[in-house]
Amino acid sequence: MSVSVKLATVVLAAAALAGCVAAPIMNVSEAPVATASGKALSNEQVRGAIVRAGSALGWQMKEEGPGMLLGTLQLRNHTAVVAIPYSPKSYSVQYRSSVNLDEKGGTIHKNYNGWIQNLTRGINAQLSAS
């Protein structure tokens, strides 16, 4: 293999690896509050479902005001912080900040999105069981 072919291969491999670790930041907007029974929940019940789901996954939930929680997940040397506004009708999970997750220009380490998907599934499961 010539030097230019080897260099091109290394550059392409590096670009592919770089693409594997960054993804557009996932936000959940106005996800509906749905229960298996179809009954409406109070603000406090929705808050409880979010806190239970987050706690089960290692998120620390902190009240930030009426209808607003702040979720923080710390894994090894990585930290993700999300704002979670909620009401009896819907909730959202919005990126707030991070440490060591390579956030820039609307992208972030791909593991972040998996954490948000797990949190959303957990919230939905807790709401459904309410």
- The pLDDT tens digits along the chain (130 residues) read 444 434 334 333 344 444 457 999 999 999 999 999 989 999 999 999 999 999 999 999 999 999 999 999 999 999 999 999 999 999 999 999 999 999 999 999 999 999 999 999 999 999 999 8
What pLDDT is recorded for position 21?
77
24-129 has which CATH code? 3.30.310.80
Longest distance between any two alpha carbons in the chain, whole Å? 69
Long-range contacts from 77-86, C-beta under 8 angstroms, 24+ separation = 78/109, 78/111, 80/112, 80/115, 82/116, 82/119, 84/50, 86/33, 86/43, 86/46, 86/47, 86/50
What pLDDT is recorded for position 124?
98
Helix (H, G, I), strand (E, B), or coil: what is residue 101? coil
Verdict on whether the full-model pTM lies above 0.85: no
Q: How far is CA 94 from CA 12, 85, 130, in A?
A: 33, 8, 23
What pLDDT is recorded for position 15?
41
